[in-house]
Structure 1
Amino acid sequence: MVAQDETVLGQLAEAMVDVSELLQEPAKLDETLELITRGTADTVPGILEVSISITRRDGTIDTLAPSGPLAVEADRLQYELHEGPCLDAALEEPVVIVNDLATDPRWPLFGPKAADLGIGSQVAFQFRAEPHVRGALNLYAGEPGSIDQDAIHLGSLFAAQTAVAMGWARQEQSLTEALATRNQIGQAVGLVMERYSLDADRAFAFLVRLSQTSNTKLREVAAALVDAANNNAKR
């Protein structure tokens, strides 16, 4: 047990160092947020995927830096159904913990649909960043009862770093660029799914492997695929 705790702490320390280094460069908002969500998913035991929900001035909510397609779909469902832990955290509650999404009466529409996706439990942490940024860091687990005190403690640390990172984004342009990156990755996943007859999970994993083997940032890989598809469509 001690060895496992030391491993988790080591992973946490490495993730925090990586994020802290990027926080010295405000222009790299999207890259910083990707590190936070990926670091959260890799470090917090039992967590499958992570995302960031961000509120906009016009009242809409968007997803930034999802660690995978499952988080994208879970967030989308909550936005469309107007209920769910990420909405409650982003708009009202500091921390929202769900031990069993399938049976929790607080979200009768979202809960069963989340369970159908393979999500058993969830925790969402509210963060605020000046001057007007507010949102939630969303952690999705596969099994009910996976959100223990360690998960809450570790998740809160990453939520704090999200607030710091978003504090750099004092201009709407920074958020717009981060959203554009999210949209390009989504388009690239769709292209890979169609081209190779893959599901969303495998298509996202394909892009990640391509990014790693080519030593190219994920957003650049996605942009290249989308640009190539657009150019072929014009011919």
Structure 2
Amino acid sequence: MELKELIAVVSEVAGALQVPMDLEPALELITASAVDAIPCIDHASISVTTKHGRIETHASTDAVAVQADELQYQLRQGPCYEAVLSDPVVQVDDLASDPRWPAYGPKAASLGLGSQLAYQFRADPHVRGALNLYANKPHEIDVDARMLGAMFARLVAIAMGWGRQDESLREALATREQIGQAMGIVMERYHLDGDRAFAFLVRVSQAGNVKLRDVARAVIADTAGHAEEPPGGSYVVRRDEAASYDEPVRGSGGRRRF
């Protein structure tokens, strides 16, 4: 690929890394661009660990990449698996004969793969995975391919970090809005001021050992007339209990906290 074409590819990827972003399309653009920009690479994918310890494939360019990834997860061996768990960069020049992964190598070769390159990435908060690059021919990965691969792995890390932060921000804003709406309902229904309404919601949350946002959602759903029981049970606010409640929130100095 010529320098001008490479600059155009990178510029397109950088344009997708804007907050707020749609994470999955951004990752798909990165893997597709890696295949376009690195001459020897024919397939690409991204492996990401879940909070439950599983490894999942995202943004694969084709079915071959998915099959190769799944083989490594099942066999618990291979460049992708090693990069996710330990090694920053793993390169295989000949999958059919590499002695490091005797079970995976021949199976990968049967898919038509000759060589492979995997880059570990980390992105806050607590996101870990690997960019997987596959070549159909053995001994095709050179120094230039490694350098370009490292650049795309860094773009994956940036996208994952920004995407998760944006997701967390949206969830926080949604939770704040729901709590505010629930406070308004309690204030209007039981003639409480803002501090007492919030303190009451907090007490219900603590008594039921559930999150405050679940209490807020239950209050809103109940008002709408189609309440569903949230995790931890249902919440019934008695008029006398709400009206008599005047205890400040511990540790808040009497101020509302969201």
TM-score greater than 0.5 by the shorter chain: yes
Q: Report the secondary structure of 1:63's partner residue.
A: strand
Higher share in helix? 1
1:36 corresponds in structure 2 to: 30
**Match of residue 6 from structure 2:** 12
1:144 aligned residue: 138
What's the offset of the Cα at 1:12? 2.1
Deviations 1:47-75 (A, max 9, x none): 11000000111110000000111101100
Unaligned stretches of 5+ in structure 1?
A: 1-6, 175-235
2:88 to 94, 119, 125: 94
The residue that corresponds to 2:104 in the other structure is 110
Unaligned runs of 5+ in 2: 169-258
Distance in 2, matches of 1:96 and 1:65, equals: 20
Question: Kindly, what percent of the aligned residue pairs are identical?
Answer: 54
Summarize the Cα distance change of 1:151–1:33 in structure 2 as closer, same or farther, 3 Å threshold.
Answer: same
**Contact 1:49 1:70 (C-alpha < 8 Å) held by counterparts:** yes
Query: Offset at 1:27?
Result: 3.0
| Equivalent in 68, 77, 84 of residue 74 of structure 1 | 68
Higher gyration radius (CA): 2
1:125 shift after superposition: 0.5
Which structure ranks higher in relative contact order (CA pairs < 8 Å, sequence separation ≥ 6)?
Answer: 1
Q: Tell me if structure 2 keeps the 8 A contact 1:8–1:43.
A: no
CA contact (8 A) 1:15 1:36 kept: no
Give 1:170 deviation, angstroms: 2.3
**SS of 2:2 mapped into structure 1:** helix
Partner SS state of residue 135, structure 1: strand
Instruction: Give the Å deviation of 1:172.
Output: 10
CA contact (8 A) 2:95 2:106 kept: yes
Question: 2:119 — aligned with what?
Answer: 125
Task: Determine the C-alpha separation between the residues in 2 that align with 1:51 and 1:8.
Answer: 24
SS of residue in 2 equivalent to 1:119: coil
SS at match of 1:170: helix
Q: Secondary structure at the match of 1:126?
A: strand
- Conserved 8 A contact 1:84-1:107: yes
Alpha-carbon deviations, 1:166-205, whole Å to 9, x = none? 001326968xxxxxxxxxxxxxxxxxxxxxxxxxxxxxxx
8 Å Cα contact 2:21-2:166 kept in structure 1: no
**Regions of 4+ moved over 4 Å:** 171-174
Aligned partner letter, 1:160: R
Equivalent residues of 2:19, 2:166 under 8 A apart = no
Q: Which residue among 12, 17, 20 is the counterpart of 1:23?
A: 17
The RMSD of aligned alpha carbons is 1.5
Give per-residue Cα distances to partners, 1:26-49, cap 9 Å, x unaligned.
331111101100000011011110
Q: TM-score if structure 1 supplies the norm length? A: 0.69
Distance (whole Å) between structure 1 residues aligned to residue 70 and residue 166 of structure 2 = 22
Deviation at 1:144, TM superposition (A): 0.6
Kindly tell me the number of residue pairs found equivalent between the two proteins: 168
Q: Which amino acid aligns with 1:152?
A: R
- 2:36 and 2:49 map into 1 onto residues whose CA distance is 25
Paired with 1:146 and 1:56, the residues of 2 have a C-alpha distance of: 32
> What is the TM-score of this pair, normalised by structure 2?
0.63
Structure 2 distance, partners of 1:172, 1:56, is 18
